[in-house]
Structure 1
Amino acid sequence: MSGDRTKTKAIEDSRFRQLIDSVVDYAIYMIDPDGIITSWNAGARRFKGYEEAEILGQHFSRFYTEPDRLAGLPQRALDTAKTEGRFEGEGWRVRKDGTLFWSHVVIDPIIDPSGTLVGYAKITRDLTDRKMAEETLKQSEQQFRLLVQSVTDYAIYMLSPDGHLTNWNLGAQRIKGYRPEEVIGKHFSMFYTPADREAGEPQRALDTAAREGRFENKAWRLRKDGTQFLAHVVVDPIWGETGTLLGFAKITRDITEVTQAQHALEQTREALFQAQKMQAIGQLSGGIAHDFNNLLTVILGNLEIVRKRVTDDPKIMRLLDNATQGAMRGVSLTQRMLAFARRQELKTEPVEIPALIQGITGLLRSSLGPSVGLETRFAPDLEPALADLNQLELAVLNLATNARDAMPNGGKIVISARNEVVSDAARSSLPVGQYVCLSVTDTGEGMDPTTLASATDPFFTTKGVGKGTGLGLSMVHGFIAQLGGRFILHSQKDVGTTAELWLPVAIPGAVRATVIETPAMSTIPGLSVLVVDDDSLVLTSTSLLLEDLGHRVISATSGAQALEAFESGQAIDLVITDMAMPHMNGAQLAQAIRNRQPDLPIILATGYAERLEGFVTELPRLSKPFTQLHLVEVIAQAMK
C-alpha cells in the first residue's frame, strides 16, 4: 500500500515538473537557502538566455545589475521573503547576453513540516514591454504638459473645486495679461465683469459643469488692463476614480474678432450630431423593417393558402382581399423604411407619375394639415419616368414636408409634371434625351440667393436646432443624380420655392401593373427542398407554400441544423435559406453547402439588401415578403 502511494506521488511530482517546465511566459525556479539555483524551467531559459546546465549551482544574484548587487538587493529580497513570508518587487535584471529587461519578481520561502527553511520558490516575469509603455506614457504626459504650456491661442488652466486657480499657461498670460504668480491661488471670478459677478455667473458655471458634465458659454471677460474681450469658455469637471470632484479644467478663447468663424464651427458640430442621429435612426429603421418583412411574409403566405382553400363565399373573399391589401400597405411601409435606412437596392422601373402621386395623396394631405392646400397638374401626354418607385415617393414626401414647413401660416402646394426634351447638352446640366420634370411648388417664405446656393449641401438646414437634419435635399439630389437626372431648385424670397426632379423617360408602355392578381403558376413538382430560417413562423409559412406546390420540405432552424440534414444523407434538390441568422448566416451556410455539393441550387431569402461577396452574389434572391408566385419564379430560375 505504501509502495502504491510512493509510486503515485512520484507520478504526481513528474507531472508537476512537466507542467512547470512547459511554462514559457514565466521564469520559475528554485534556490536553496543560500541563493544557489537548484532548478530551471523553460520560461527562465527563454527570456534569461541560460541553459539549465549553465545556471544550476550558480547564485541567483548574477541576474541583478552591478549597482543592485553592490547595494545588497539580492540578499535583502531573500531576507524579506524569509521574515515576511513573501518578497515582491520590480526592477531591471540582466540576461546572459548582457541586455537588460524589466522584471516582476515574487519570492516565496519553502518551509518543511519541521519549520526549517529548505529554500525559495522564485517566479520572474518579463515586463519590459509594459515598462516601455509606461515610459512612453510618461514622456507623452510630459510632452502634453509642454504642449499645453506652449499654447498661446487658448487660456488653459485648472481650478480647485471651489474655483481657485492652480496653474496658468502662456495662452492665459497672453489673452488675460496676468503672469502665473499674479493669479495662481486667486478665485477665477476675477475675470468676470462686475455685473456677471453680482449675478452669480462664476458659481453657476461651476455648478452647471459639475451637474451636467460640462459648461460652455460666450460672454464678456476682463483683462488685467481693464479692457473687455468676448470669450468662448468651456469648463469640464475632473472626477476621481471614486467619484470625488477633484476640480475643473477651464479653456478660454478670445473670439472678439472671430465670432463669425466660431459660429460656422458650431454649425459644423451640430451637423455632425445630426448625422450621427440620422445614422442611428437609419439602423433602427432597417432593423424594424427587417422584422416586419418576416411578419408580412407569414401573413401574405398564409392568406394565399387560405384563399385557395376557402369556398367562393364573396364575403370571405372580400375579407381576404382586405387583409391582403392591408398587408401590402405594410410592404410599402417597410420599403420606405428600408429606403430611408439605405438598406434597399435602387430598383429602377417605369413609373406613371400621376398614379404615384394619387397613391400617396392621402398620406400627403394628412401630413400637410388643414391650412395647406394641395393641387396636382399633369400633362395629358405625360411619359412614364424611369425611377425607383419607393425612393421617388420618399423624395416627394420630403419635398412636400419642406414646403409645408416653409408656410407656417398656411398656403398652397402644387405638384405638377411635364415632358421635357434636352437637345443641347452644352446649354444644360443634363445629357441629351427625354425627361419628365416632376415639380413641387409652394407659396412659402422662399430663399435668398445665399441660402439657395447652399440648400442642397449636406447638413445645411434653415430649421431650428433639432427640427431639421440638413440631409433631406442632399439625399434627394443624390438619388436623382443616380438615376441619371437632376434636382434643380428655384426660389425667391417671400414668393416661394419650386423643386424640380428631372427624371429620364422610360420606354413607353412598359409600366408595371399594380393590381393584385393570382396568375397561373407553373412549377417543377416533386422537389426535395431544404428550407432554413431561424424564425419559426416564416419557416412554417414557407414550408406550407412549398408543400402546396407539390414539393417535399425538410425544415431547419439554423445553419448547423441544415448541415446535419446533409450529413444524414437525405436527398436534397434545392436549398432556400434566410440570410440574417445568428451564428451562421445564409451566405456562410451557402458556402458550406457549396463545399459539399458544388452544383446544388441555393436561393437566398432576405428582408433587405445585405452586402454580399464572392459566389453568393450570383445566387437567386428571394425578397421578403414574398408570394407563392415569387417562389415559383425563383425556383424556376434556380433550377435552370
Structure 2
Amino acid sequence: MSVPQSYDVSLLDDERYRLLVDSITDYAIYMLDPEGKIASWNPGAQRFKGYEAWEILGEHFSRFYTPEDRLARAPEHALRMAATEGRFEREGWRVRKDGSRFWAHVIIDPIWSRSGELLGFAKVTRDLTERKRAEAELRLSEEKFQILVQGVTDYALYMLDPDGRVSNWNSGAARIKGYTADEIVGKHFSQFYTPEDRERGEPNRSLETARREGRFEREAWRQRKDGTRFWAHVIIDAIRNEDGTLIGFAKITRDITEKVEAQKALTQAREELFQSQKMEAIGQLTGGVAHDFNNLLMAVLGSLEILKKRLPDDPALTPLLDNAIQGAERGAALTQRMLAFSRRQELNMQAINVPALVSGMMDFVQRSLSASASVETRFAKNLPHVTSDPVQLETAVLNLVVNARDAMAGGGTIVISAEEYFADKNVERLKPGRYVRLAVADSGEGMDEETLIRATTPFFTTKGVGKGTGLGLSMVQGLTEQSGGKLDIQSQKGKGTTVSLYLPAADANDCPQSSEQTMPSPAATPIGRLTILAVDDDALVLMNTTLMLEDLGHTVIEAYSGTDALKELRSGAHDIDLVITDHSMPRMTGSELAAVIREERPGLPVVLATGYAELPTGGDNRLPRLPKPFSQNQLEEIIATVLAGGR
C-alpha cells in the first residue's frame, strides 16, 4: 500500500521544523504540556540553561524560576495568563542548572487543537544578561553623570534646545544665576544677558557662532535674577545626532568675577611694586648724584670764597664773583631738595612747637604771597610737639604755601592748620601712635586724578618752564617720611587742594637738643693755630678744604683715604689737633675711621663732612657734622664748636 502524498509532505515539514529548532542556539525553544512539564528541548535551551534533554524532559518548568518567584507562584501565573490572554511575555531573572542567574526575555504561547482543546505551550526564552548589564551600566553612568552635573556648584551646566530655550538646569546654575529649575526651564537663555548685549543681538550671535563653528567661547558681563552683574566665562557647544541634525546646545558658564578682581589686584600690586622699585632707584640715583654734586659745589664755592677774599675790590669783578657764588648756592639748595626726596639728607631732629614755628615764619610767608592771596592759621589747643628738623620743616611749609599761591591764579585764602591725630591701627605708611596733622589748604584749581597720582613724582611739575623744579612735593614727602610720618594729598579739580603732613608727636627722651644748644658759643673760646688732618678721597674737595683751612691760619696734613689717615696718625710725625674727614669713602668710611681713632686716640676730636646721614648701623650719631657744601665761616664755626666741646 502506498503512502499518501500529503502524509509525506507533512512528515517532511515536521522534519524541517525540528531541524530548524535544533539549529537555534541563541534561544531556548521547547514545549510544555498543559501542566507545565517539559515535552521537548532544543540545543539553545541546553546551552544557556545547562540541562541535557534526558535530565529535564518531564520536569516542571518552574525549576527555572527563582525561589522568590516560585513562592509568589509566578510559573502558574505565566501559564494562566498565556491560556487566558493568548500570550505571556515578560523579562525577569531565571536560574540555570548550576544555580547562577540570568536575565531572560520569555514568551509563552498556548497551543490549541482544532477542537479547541489545550495541547500545551510553546516557550521561547532568550538570555539578555549582557544587555541587562549594559543597560544597568548605562543607567548607572547616567545617574553618576547627573549626580556629577548636579554636584558641580562652581559652574552653571545646562542644555538649550535649538531655539535657545533652557531644557535642564543644574545646582551650579541655580547658585550662580539665582533661578530655580522651575523658574527658568523653558525660558530663553537671553535673559541672562545685559540689556545692552540683548540690544546688540549677542545671544543670537553666540548661538549662530556655535551652530556654524561648533563652539562659542567668550568672557563678558552676565546678569543674575536679582539684576546684579557678574563677569562670566561662557562656552556653548553645538550638540548634533548621528546624522548631523542639531538637537541643541550644551552651555557652561563660570563666574570669574573674583578671579578677575584678584588679577586686577595682582596687576595693581605689581604696578605698585614696580613704582616703589622705580622710586627707590630714583632715590638712590638722586642721592648719589646730589652727594657727588655737593662735592663739586664744595670745590666751586670754597674756591670762589677764597678768590673773593684775595682779589682786590674791583667793581667790574666783584659782581661776577657774587653772581657765581649765588648760582652755586642755588645749586646747593637744589641738592638739599634732592637729598630730602631721597631721604638721605641729614636732619637735625628736634622737638618742635608747630604753632610757634609757623607763627615765626609768617612775615616771610606774607611776603611770598601776591596781593590777591591771604593766609590764615588755625591751630588746635594744647598740641604736642613734633619730631622733625625745624629748618627743613619751615622750608616744607613754605614750599606748600608757594604751591597753594600758584594754584590760585585769581587769588584766595590759604589755610595753615594743625590738629592732633591718633592712628589706632596700621594705615598706609603710618604706624599706630600719636601724631600732629599739619595741613596747608587752598581754594585753587585743584588737581585731576592723573595729576594727583603723579604729584610727588620727582621732577614732575604743572608749572611753566623755569617756574618749578618738580622737587618741592618730593622734598616735603622725603622730609615727612624721614621724620617717621607720611604725606597725604586730597584734591579735586576746581575744588582746591589740601596737603597734610602727619608728623609723630615728640618724645623728650628720644629727641636730643641740637648741638647749638648744648655746646658753648664758639666766640667764647679763642682758637689758635692748629694742625688739622683733612681726609677726603676727592682731590678737588680736599684741595679746597686745605685752602680754606690754611687761609684761616691752620697747618693742614692731607690724606686721600682712611688708611692713609691712620698711617699719618700712627707715624707721630705731626701733633694732630683735629681730624676733618669725608664720610663717604671707599674701603673705610669716615665713621669707621672715627671709631678707630676713638680707640687709639680717645682725646682727638673728629668732624664728619657729609651731605647726608648715611652712618652704618651702630655708628655714633653724636659725631659733629659739617654739611657739604660748606663755607669757610661754617668751617671756622664747627672747629670752634668742637674744640670748645672738647675742653
Superposition TM-score, scaled by structure 1 size: 0.46
Q: Which of structures 1 and 2 has the bigger CA Rg?
A: 2
Superposition TM-score, scaled by structure 2 size: 0.45
